[in-house]
Amino acid sequence: MSADDSERAGGRASYRVSEDPEEARVEGRRLALLGELRDRRSAATLEALGIEDGWRCLDVGSGGGSLARWMAERVRPYGSVVATDVDLRFQREGRDNLEVRRHDIVHDALPENEFHLVHARAVLQTIEQREAVLDKLVRALRPGGWLVVSDPEWSAFERQPLPEAFRALYDAMMDAAAHAHGYDRHWPVRIPAAFRARGLVDIDCRGDSHAMHGGTDSAEWLILAYERSAPGLVRAGFLDQRTVDEGLRAARKRDFLAMGPVSVCCWGRKP
């Protein structure tokens, strides 16, 4: 999600969509697409780690909540899931073993030594305080519990040929996100070392990508983020409206084809 115009402690904008109904509609659609594209692979990772009935799980930055609902079904009848996000407009309540909680992972506390599984997808990359938040996530694990973190790595994406206006839009989005939140497009390559530094064991990771075809959901998950944020980019002087329009139009053409960012997923166990 992107920021509204409010500021939080520490000088960064709150990572929350504005109250504008159209922005919220677009963000809801984007989160639904992300769930459709990523949930199957995320669920396969959690199954390989042994998620089962009785586990107590935490899904941080749950977004639309689709994976949290899957987790809640997987750990029934004796397990439970807490799904947290700074913005709950895109969540819906699931089964009685799923608690949806408004929570700012940067500023709010978490219980310690409680969860068999802590999962965070597309969260740590977006916040400047990622190292302190990672400490908090590790402390929330009970001994033997698993931490699973995934974020997109953009090196390959930005090295491929892209339409000029769309590349300008990409660059402006990255610059704006870094300025507003401390977004780090290359954070995922440092996750394994960050896990080791915090004493996690059995560390492993996987990266995968998919082709983005213009005019399909495979690309629309990213284009919607740019479309929603474009007015703010123009107001802030990162781009002019003509470039925005040309970039969005180019990415929605049927002949647009790009390799998506590499989704890097890392996991490690607390001894």
Task: Please check whether residue 6 lies inside any domain of the structure.
Answer: no
DSSP labels, 73-124: HHTTTT-EEEEEES--TT----STTEEEEE--TTTS---SS-EEEEEEES-G
Task: Please check whether residue 10 lies inside any domain of the structure.
Answer: no
Task: Please check whether residue 14 lies inside any domain of the structure.
Answer: no
Q: Residue 214's domain spans which residues?
A: 21-269
Task: Please check whether residue 265 lies inside any domain of the structure.
Answer: yes
Task: Please check whether residue 255 lies inside any domain of the structure.
Answer: yes
Task: Please check whether residue 99 lies inside any domain of the structure.
Answer: yes
Tell me: cis bond preceding 192? Omega within 30 of 0 counts.
no
Task: Please check whether residue 246 lies inside any domain of the structure.
Answer: yes
- Residue ranges of the chain whose pLDDT lies below 50: 1-14
pLDDT value of position 21: 74
Query: Which residue in this structure is represented by tokens 């159209």?
Result: 22
Model confidence over 114-140: pLDDT tens digits?
999 999 999 999 999 999 999 999 999
Domain of residue 64, CATH code: 3.40.50.150
Model confidence over 65-85: pLDDT tens digits?
999 999 999 999 999 999 999
DSSP designation for 190: G
- pTM, 2 dp: 0.91
Task: Please check whether residue 13 lies inside any domain of the structure.
Answer: no
Tokens, residue 97:
């073993």
